[in-house]
Homo-oligomer: A and B are copies of this chain.
Amino acid sequence: MRMERLPKRQRHQQLSKLLDENPFLTDRELTRLLKVSIQTIRLDRLELAIPELRERLKQMAERSYDSIRSLPLDEVIGDVLDLHLDKSGISLFEISEEHVFSRSGIARGHHVFAQANSLAVAVINDEIALTASADIRFVRPARLGEKCIAKAYVRSSRGQKAKVEVITYVGEEMVFQGDFIIYRSASETKT
């Protein structure tokens, strides 16, 4: 039963590797690289469940298209659940596909930051409020599917500077903490 020739498995590995390195290869090009007939290449792809070139390109295009679509970071990132102007606020942000590194499923930092930053700005009750500086820590990674609850507290608000602390949780765990200094346009009388 155990056949001496296992160039097949080897070839399968090579083929997977080749296509991993360069998914733009046609079957015909693969015949040159692997020195087998085109039918063999196609049987191999069949066994390995590797789709044809055009399907591979389409899938790549779709993935990159989705991730480009999702970038618009608007208004407040996440849903505002609770807001007491000049005091505190809470927002919810669910980590989905477009927010994570595909390899690791871990959210890119700027999305977690964006939730916190936009909440910090939203909680300041003024026409114009801008982030002046921030000191932030990503305590633990947020992962695909997790629901991030950001809580913002206005710690002080004198003159044009307001200090806002934001802490983001997933369940009981802290994932992010940041101290923001927000510039506001004028005195708080101008609401």
**Residues in A lying within 8 Å of B, measured CB to CB:** 23-24, 54, 56-58, 60-65, 67-68, 70-75, 77, 98-99, 101, 103-104, 106, 108-111, 113-114, 117-118, 121, 127-128, 130-138, 141
B121 pairs with A104, CB closer than 8 A? no
Q: In the assembled complex, which residues on chain B have CB atoms less than 8 Å from the CB atom of A133?
A: 136-138
A54 nearest CB neighbor, chain B only? B54
A127 pairs with B103, CB closer than 8 A? yes
Minimum C-beta distance from A112 to chain B (A): 9
Q: Name A99's contact: one of B64, B73, B131 (CB within 8 Å).
A: B73
A100 nearest CB neighbor, chain B only? B75
A117 nearest CB neighbor, chain B only? B110
Bound CA span A24–B117, Å:
31
Given contacts A73-B114, A74-B64, A128-B106, contact A136 B137 (CB under 8 A): no
Bound CA span A99–B58, Å:
24
Minimum C-beta distance from A180 to chain B (A): 9
Ordered by A's residue number, 12 sampled pairs between the chains whose C-beta atoms are within 8 Å are A24-B65, A58-B61, A60-B61, A61-B64, A73-B108, A104-B128, A108-B118, A114-B114, A130-B141, A131-B138, A133-B136, A135-B136
Minimum C-beta distance from A45 to chain B (A): 18
Q: In the assembled complex, which residues on chain B have CB atoms less than 8 Å from the CB atom of A121?
A: 108-109
A109 pairs with B130, CB closer than 8 A? yes
